[in-house]
Structure 1
Amino acid sequence: MVTNEVAVSTKRVLIVKLSSLGDLVHALPTIRCLRVGLPATITWVVNAVYAPLLRYAADVDEVVPFDRQRPLRGLWQVIRQLRKREFDLVIDLTGLFKSALISRLARGRLCLGPSYARELAWLFYHRQVGSKDLNRHAVERYLDVVRALQVQDGDRVFPLAFPSWVPAEDGTRPVVVLIPSARWHSKLWPAASFAELADRLRRDGVQVVLVGGELPGGEDPLARVEGIMDLRGRTSLPELGGILQRADLIVANDTGPMHLAAALGRRVIALMGPTDPSRTGPYGTGHRVLSTRPPCSPCFSKVCRNPAGQICLQDLRPAEVYATAADMLNTPP
């Protein structure tokens, strides 16, 4: 436990959370508690690709981008910027060597890191805080630092708002956003299943919008579905946020945009196989998680090692996902 005197005297806080999209979103309630409870101004060091997103986070006063493509030059540039300021408190929410190094080189009065830090990151902290229990949602793990500072742990608020997006077609139709991509191959629900779902929703009069990254491999069954809006790879992060903000429902693999949608208060159907919904499922109420949940799940592996194949997601039928989507669209939030 950090003394309450530290919290009372803290006026300027540096957050070091470099990636990924979902993790950044999950950290936002912690930022809200620090901003309101201390109160303090918040500076956030983040990988440059995510900096545009944080500029739409109401509780972040300053964003310092880190160029991960040129790590040594990027580290030097970040440290040079940070040392122009004086931080009362530096918090590493990542718990890895690089983030811990940045945290300590910022020369804050007090440097805190998570108890579950890896890669010798703990060497750079003045103190480690929180429980090592990882069987909690990421949102709750990040809030450990708020409890350690004896700051009030209030409502889980995600203060994000993006420019409005209006469909080019009939704006009266329900909008369902599909996110068929993911960073791990093992997280991918088959593209053919997404295509079948998209076609069934389209025939019901739903405006189907595809977002996210391109799918691996050559053939893309979704490209053959007529009457849907394919925006994959064509949106910035703020534009993606605006689309998700407008959606009536999101159907997604376990990926960063899925967590962004949940944070924006949109209802989500999360298709999960190798990961644990209790740790990284869509946060909040009104969502549904679908998976066949075989004995090997969750495996937390980027590559499926089951001799029978990726049954956690391959055996999840489009008809089941469609029925869940239809039920949610017909049920008021």
Structure 2
Amino acid sequence: MGMRVLVARLDNAGDVLLSGPCVRAVAAGAESVTMLAGPRGRAAAELLPGVDDVIEWCAPWIDPEPPPVTAEYTKTLRDRVTGFDAALVVTSFHQSPLPLALILRECGVPWIGAISDDYPGSLLDLRHRVHGDPPEAERALALAEAAGFALPPGDDGRLAVRGPLPDVSEVAGDPGYVVVHPAASVPAREWPAAQCAEAVRMLTGDGYRVVVTGGPADKELTARVAGEYALDLAGRTDLSQLAAVLSGASVLVAPNTGPAHLAAAVGTPVVSLFAPVVPAARWAPYGVPVVLLGDQEAPCRDTRARRCPVPGHPCLAGVTPDEVRQAVEKLGGAA
């Protein structure tokens, strides 16, 4: 009998998608892979090739709206994590894997690996170190490789989602449109709405068919951005349907947000309006053609700020709608 392996990635959908190559490497050498994901990442975990099952649990040390830490709450995870032979805890550079490793040890997981700068004591069997500033997908894959798992022959290590994707032609129309996704999980990463709306107007004026996407909470923003020029799909797609919409796009225009990584996972080029609050070297869309816009040397660089700490939001406010139009053309958007 092969190994039953738990792979944990407890934050947002984009983070989970970036762990996809790591998951596929584990799946190539294990009997089964269960993904431990947070509520903001569960839908993405269900899209990953190689995942056999998903356990959802909200980590109090990671989620931005954390539940209280109580014995009763941690027991809700302990009761579900049983029978695993090994676990890999996938984190970003600023996150510690040790709180989860402690709980997994209490659950009886006999072997645990993670990337950790902190001394883990007996919490980890594999304490992996990653040097330099690799993309997040490569960083996670390095952990799997250090644990003895490798991508199967023919796997290029790019992001991917499970197919087949749903038919969204009745919602989005025939493929070949440009998708504009204006929202991000935090305001510091968003391009100003007025400039985004002007870019949509200019793109449609050039003959592009534009589709604006967003979640139910983004409807006011997407309505402003779409105006009378673009199709507004805010709140009308789940994550698999959004993946299908993005797979039919010639280009995505988006900030640093989960749909940018979802576009990469379906092979769609991205115009990335990237605020440098986190490093683009780690977090830019991975494995697809990208035009990166935004001042990467702005004062907000590497602050991980949720709201822009600089008056006027200069890192992205300085990007003009015409620059976005030119980037769409460069990436092959067919008007």
Distance 1:147 1:129, change over 3 A: farther
CA distance in 1, matches of 2:200, 2:138: 34
Paired AA for residue 277 in structure 1: A
Question: Where does residue 142 of structure 2 map in the other structure?
Answer: 144
The 2-side partners of 1:167 and 1:206 are apart by 19
Seen in structure 2, the aligned counterparts of structure 1 residues 136 and 157 have a Cα distance that, compared at 3 Å, is closer
Unaligned ranges ≥5, structure 1: 1-8
Measured in 1, the distance between the counterparts of 2:150 and 2:296 equals: 37
Aligned to 2:25: 33
Cα separation, partners in 2 of 1:140 and 1:28, compared to 1, 3 Å: same
Is residue 264 of structure 1 aligned with residue 266 of structure 2?
A: yes
The answer to whether structure 1 residue 17 and structure 2 residue 9 are counterparts is yes
What residue number does 1:63 align with? 54
Change (3 A) 1:112 1:10: farther
Partner of 2:328: 325
**Secondary structure at the residue paired with 1:145?**
helix
Structure 2 counterpart SS, 1:269: strand
CA distance in 2, matches of 1:211, 1:182: 11
Secondary structure in structure 1 of the residue aligned to 2:330: helix
Partner of 2:115: 114
Residue 89 (structure 1) aligned with residue 89 (structure 2): no
Runs of 4+ off more than 6 Å = 214-221
**1:237/1:168 CA distance change after superposition, 3 Å:** closer
Distance 2:313 2:45 in 1: 35
- Measured in 1, the distance between the counterparts of 2:260 and 2:291 equals 12
Alignment of 1:206-221 (within 5 A): 206-213=208-215
Q: 1:15, 1:90 within 8 Å by CA — same for their partners in 2?
A: yes
Match of 2:309? 305
What CA distance in whole angstroms lies between the structure 2 residues aligned with 1:98 and 1:53?
23
* Amino acid of the structure 1 residue aligned with 2:11: S
| Partner SS state of residue 304, structure 1 | coil
- How many residues in Structure 1 have an aligned counterpart in Structure 2? 315
Of 291, 295, 299, 1:296 maps to: 299
Distance in 1 (CA, whole Å) between partners of 2:19 and 2:280 is 17
Bigger shift: residues 136-145 or 96-105: 96-105
RMSD value, Cα:
2.9
1:150-171 per-residue CA deviation (whole Å, 9 max, x = no partner) reads 3335630434133232154752
Give CA deviations for 1:79-110 in whole Å, capped at 9, x if unaligned.
21222xx2111111133455334432332220
Q: What is the deviation of 1:183?
A: 1.7
Matched, 1:180 2:154: no
Structure 2 CA distance for partners of 1:150 and 1:220, relative to 1, 3 Å: closer
> Which amino acid in the other structure matches residue 89 of structure 2?
D
For 2:105, the aligned partner's letter is R
Contact 1:252 1:271 in 2 (8 A): yes
CA contact under 8 A between 2:101 and 2:124: conserved in structure 1?
A: no
- Does the Cα contact within 8 Å between 1:16 and 1:102 map onto a contact in 2? no
Is 1:52 the counterpart of 2:32 in the alignment?
no
Per-residue deviation at 1:11? Answer: 1.4
Counterpart for residue 62 of structure 2: none
Residue 316 (str. 1) matches residue 319 (str. 2)? yes
Residues 74 and 43 of structure 1, relative CA distance in 2, 3 Å threshold: farther
Q: Does 88-97 or 274-283 show the bigger shift?
A: 88-97
Identity of aligned residues (%): 26
Q: CA deviation at 1:26?
A: 0.7
* Residues 177, 210 of structure 2: 8 Å contact kept: yes
The 8 Å contact of residues 194 and 225 in structure 2, kept in 1 or not, is answered as no
Which residue of 2 is the match for residue 75 of structure 1?
A: 74
Q: 1:213 to 1:101 in 2, by over 3 A?
A: farther
Does 248-257 or 231-240 show the bigger shift?
231-240
Question: Secondary structure, in 3 states, of the residue corresponding to 1:129?
Answer: strand
The separation in 2 between residues aligned to 1:116 and 1:248, in whole angstroms, is 41
Give the TM-score, by structure 1 length.
0.83
Q: TM-score, normalised by structure 2?
A: 0.83
Separation in 1 of the partners of 2:213 and 2:129? 36
* Secondary structure in 1 matching 2:33: strand
